[in-house]
Structure 1
Amino acid sequence: MAKEIKIPQISESVDTATVSEILVSKGDKIEEGQGVIAVETDKASTEIPATSAGKVKEIKVSEGDEVSVGDVILILEEAEGGSEENEESGDEKEKKEASEEEENGKKEEKQDKTSEEKEKKKTKDKQDKSEEKKEGEEKSAEEEDEDESKDESADEDKDYEEKKSSEKSEKDKPTDKQSSKEVYASPGVRRMARELGVNIQEIEGSGESGRITEKDVKSHKEGGGKRSGTVQLELPDFSKWGAVERKPLNNIKKTTAKNVLESWQSIPHVFQFGEADISGIESYMEDHKEKVEEAGGKLTLTAILTKVVATALHKFPMFNASIDIEKEEMILKKYVNINIAVATDEGLLVPVIKNADQKSIKDLSVEISEIAQKARDQKLSNEDMEGGNFSISNLGGIGGTNFTPIVYHPQVAILGVSRAGIKPVYIDDNFEPRSILPLSLSYDHRLIDGADGASFMNWMVKALEDPYEALLG
């Protein structure tokens, strides 16, 4: 008996979806509740379970198809049988019905030449079945047939169970539907594991109640010796065109490469640009540099930017946050720790200025000078590198007009600063030469909208052009 598997109501107000993956094949024997296809909507990815057990006769959809509630996705040859006959397939039933006479002939030999009686009984049995199986007639002959059928069914069931067990072990790796270990993971995470060739049963989940996250899958893949989530392209033999030299990456560059790759892959970046007239800031720095030098520091634009950003993070708390995708929460931090990128001979280091909002420009200038020197001397501790909420990368001393820095996970934003230059600015009906500072803001679009990014940048520009209100607090 054929059975249709249809698309159910996926979720409230969602009636259509796109087929992202077919989880079964024609001829597979499936169980009720087993996922048969994966679909994606604009809100989520989910697996559609079978509403009946049986053998897959026909698959009615393909990957990429758009499906609606009620659409048929599979046709099953539904398993049949009562308490005395277990899951006998339609093909086997047809075969048995077609060969009843042959089977009866064999029984005639076993029952010592009773062929004529058997044939009469069998003929009567067929007549009884065609008349809706009248009970009670030739009961003894039916019981004998049933006993023999049970013996055959038992053998067939044994073969079926062995085959089913084999199919189960084969399917455990890609689908994890019949695994010996209960796995907690979303359909999207399961799909990622299949695409990366990772056995999800081997992964230890770091989420709540042991739930496996995308990060767990990527980490497991990377632990297997391959870069997670990337296609490793084969390099050509460069020596064919000239001399080459290979040098191993140092620990700083290896760590940087790993961290920026993970951040770039997991964070959807948006970039916002702005320009600030810092002519007044430069005058302020000139007037106060000796006072800061007496305290043991150097008054730099980075120190002033750190103070301005610290104030901005109180006004725009989402920039001082992290996002927990698994729990669908944002984590708003009540403290302000700012990373300062420092270029060293060994590579990029990003130490942290703790509680930057509670320190004066002079204090920040001294601390930034000290921690930058520790970075160049390779004397930073783990504590110096941990706990940052927002980052500043100032390449003004090197040059360039603009750049787009990568957000450091688990932060949600970073400010890029390029070299200031003199530009004519129209003021009071006249053009005046002013020092213009290019700024670039990178932020995580999962948490921060474009309007928030523009508002943050506009506030930063105004604070730099008229800093007293922001800096005197």
Structure 2
Amino acid sequence: MSIEFKLQALKENVEIVEVNAIKVNVGDIVTKDQPLVEVQADKAALEVPSPAAGKITQILIKQGDQVKIGQLIFVIDPAGAGAAASPATPPTAPQNSAKPAPAPAPAAAVPVVATAAAKVAPIVLAHDDNKVIPAGPSTRRIARELGVDLGHVPGTGRHGRVSEDDVRSYVRGSGSNGSSGGSISVPPLPRFEDFGTVEKQPMSAIRRATARQMSLSWSIVPHVTQSDLSDITDFEAFRKSQTKGPKLTISAFAMKAVVVLLKEYPVFNSSIDVAGNQIIHKKFYNIGVAVDTENGLLVPVIRDVDKKSIAELAEELTSIAERARQRKLDSKDLTGGTFTITNLGGIGGTGFTPIVNYPEVAILGISRGRLEPVVHNGEIVPRLMMPLSLSYDHRVIDGAIAARFTRRLAEMLENPYQLLIHA
């Protein structure tokens, strides 16, 4: 009997994925666990393996499709061993009919559905009425971080399951104290067609993930941005003089300088635990670096930056940025960051307000350096000045320490030899 392979859950609370590439054709013989399709789940590219060995008889998706969890994507005819013979009519049209049947006959045997064994959803007890609340681990973690009682959050998932988006919507609608209310009702859009021609395009998986994360960060974190200028005239001369090994980019130097400062000002390497009324200081230094791709913004994470040289960081940054542009990042590459850097210097601008990548508490924005008249050693001379923009969570970080952090960073970049001491 044919196997109807339906897309199973790949990541918690991801209900729709985008097809990046189909790796087989109709008629191909595949083995168990052989990758059949690559999909984009949030910002991670994941391969979906075959549930059994057999022959691909139908491919019901194509590249670029938005596919829902539980949707039929392949039909597989098991190859030989282990395939039970069945006289039932297959899910394709009968041979004696000129027109394809719209659906399998009711009397036909039910095809085997190739989905993973159902997992029992982790549950949380609501404190108010002891009612069992279905919720996954990441949902419970976010609820703890925001101080939300899941018993007060309306679940929109199957059988009332509470998702991360449910918790975020509840916070936006009622605040993080879990005391009352629900989510904010978004007003309907006007009919833009009444004013002219429009074109509707579905949001990609990466764009949906970015929208969720930015909405969450902006709704939770009270943002403040501290700006400063760094005289990188000497730094640029030094950087461009280093011709051996990988290209040493400003981002690689900035990563190293930031880690030095994270150790001097550990609050910037922390997260706030609202439910526990505590600040969690991390003793590891994983830096996320924003990468602009044709598919949208990705923030791969480079781990243990404190243990790597500037040359090693430059080489790893080039490699991971290229994998990001090729959509070859997995979930491990996108998680575990403690601080983020976004560099728009290659494009332009004189400053901007980057959004903190929650649950981090700070993010550094770098803009393009430009020659400006500056008083230097008592004379007005042209110097290369680079804008720095540090956004931070004002619940955890005060303005004075943010100003010290930014000024210290500017000074380290002004003196590359001082930075090399820590390299």
TM-score (norm 2): 0.60
Alignment equivalent of 1:214, drawn from 144, 148, 158: 148
Matches within 5 A, 1:17-416: 183-184=126-127, 206=140, 213-214=147-148, 216=150, 220=155, 228=169, 229=172, 230-288=184-242, 290-292=243-245, 297-416=246-365
Alignment match, 2:23: none
Inter-CA distance 273–231: structure 2 relative to 1 (3 Å threshold): farther
Inter-CA distance 261–182: structure 2 relative to 1 (3 Å threshold): closer
Asked if the contact 1:184–1:211 (Cα under 8 Å) also holds between the matched residues in 2, the reply is no
- The Cα of 1:414 is off from its aligned counterpart by 0.2
- The Cα of 1:258 is off from its aligned counterpart by 0.4
Asked if the contact 1:308–1:471 (Cα under 8 Å) also holds between the matched residues in 2, the reply is no
- The Cα of 1:218 is off from its aligned counterpart by 6.3
- The Cα of 1:211 is off from its aligned counterpart by 11
Runs of at least 5 residues in structure 2 that lack an aligned partner in the other structure? 1-123, 173-183
Q: CA offsets per residue over residues 22-62 of structure 1, 9 Å max, x none?
A: xxxxxxxxxxxxxxxxxxxxxxxxxxxxxxxxxxxxxxxxx
Query: How far apart in 2 are the matches of 1:365 and 1:233?
Result: 46
Question: Residue 275 of structure 1 aligns to which amino acid in structure 2?
Answer: L
Question: Residue 233 of structure 2 aligns to which amino acid in structure 1?
Answer: S
SS of 1:367's equivalent in the other structure is helix
SS of 2:374's equivalent in the other structure is strand
Inter-CA distance 235–463: structure 2 relative to 1 (3 Å threshold): same
- The Cα of 1:215 is off from its aligned counterpart by 8.0
Query: How far apart in 1 are the matches of 2:147 and 2:275?
Result: 7
Asked if the contact 2:226–2:402 (Cα under 8 Å) also holds between the matched residues in 1, the reply is yes
Inter-CA distance 264–399: structure 2 relative to 1 (3 Å threshold): same
- The Cα of 1:409 is off from its aligned counterpart by 1.1
Structure 1 or 2: more strand by fraction: 2
Question: Residue 233 of structure 1 aligns to which amino acid in structure 2?
Answer: P
- The Cα of 1:212 is off from its aligned counterpart by 9.2
Inter-CA distance 427–377: structure 2 relative to 1 (3 Å threshold): same
SS of 1:397's equivalent in the other structure is coil
Alignment equivalent of 2:405, drawn from 437, 456, 460: 456
- The Cα of 1:275 is off from its aligned counterpart by 0.4
- The Cα of 1:214 is off from its aligned counterpart by 2.7
Asked if the contact 2:147–2:274 (Cα under 8 Å) also holds between the matched residues in 1, the reply is no
Aligned length: 276
Structure with the larger RCO, 1 or 2 (CA within 8 Å, 6+ apart): 2
Q: CA offsets per residue over residues 426-470 of structure 1, 9 Å max, x none?
A: 122211100000010011111111111111111111111123223
Query: How far apart in 2 are the matches of 1:411 and 1:355?
Result: 16
SS of 1:334's equivalent in the other structure is coil
Query: How far apart in 2 are the matches of 1:456 and 1:219?
Result: 42
SS of 1:259's equivalent in the other structure is helix
Alignment match, 2:380: 431
Asked if the contact 2:267–2:397 (Cα under 8 Å) also holds between the matched residues in 1, the reply is yes
1:445 aligns with 2:399: no
Query: How far apart in 1 are the matches of 2:281 and 2:375?
Result: 41
TM-score (norm 1): 0.54
Alignment match, 1:95: none
Query: How far apart in 2 are the matches of 1:412 and 1:397?
Result: 25
- The Cα of 1:235 is off from its aligned counterpart by 0.8
- The Cα of 1:221 is off from its aligned counterpart by 6.2
Structure 1 or 2: more helix by fraction: 1
- The Cα of 1:298 is off from its aligned counterpart by 2.4
Asked if the contact 2:224–2:394 (Cα under 8 Å) also holds between the matched residues in 1, the reply is yes
Q: CA offsets per residue over residues 341-397 of structure 1, 9 Å max, x none?
A: 001011000001111111111111100000000000000121111110000000111
Alignment match, 2:87: none
SS of 2:292's equivalent in the other structure is strand
Runs of at least 5 residues in structure 1 that lack an aligned partner in the other structure? 1-180, 191-199
SS of 2:347's equivalent in the other structure is coil
Asked if the contact 1:203–1:212 (Cα under 8 Å) also holds between the matched residues in 2, the reply is no
Asked if the contact 1:402–1:418 (Cα under 8 Å) also holds between the matched residues in 2, the reply is yes
- The Cα of 1:213 is off from its aligned counterpart by 3.5
Asked if the contact 1:304–1:361 (Cα under 8 Å) also holds between the matched residues in 2, the reply is yes
Inter-CA distance 260–207: structure 2 relative to 1 (3 Å threshold): closer
229-238 vs 346-355, which moves further: 229-238
SS of 1:246's equivalent in the other structure is coil
Q: CA offsets per residue over residues 173-197 of structure 1, 9 Å max, x none?
A: xxxxxxxx98437xxxx9xxxxxxx
Alignment match, 2:45: none
Query: How far apart in 2 are the matches of 1:353 and 1:211?
Result: 24
Query: How far apart in 2 are the matches of 1:373 and 1:207?
Result: 32
Name the Cα RMSD after superposition.
3.0
Larger radius of gyration: 1
Percent of counterpart pairs with the same letter?
Answer: 41
Asked if the contact 2:390–2:406 (Cα under 8 Å) also holds between the matched residues in 1, the reply is yes
Asked if the contact 1:206–1:213 (Cα under 8 Å) also holds between the matched residues in 2, the reply is no
SS of 1:214's equivalent in the other structure is coil
Question: Residue 368 of structure 1 aligns to which amino acid in structure 2?
Answer: L
SS of 2:321's equivalent in the other structure is helix
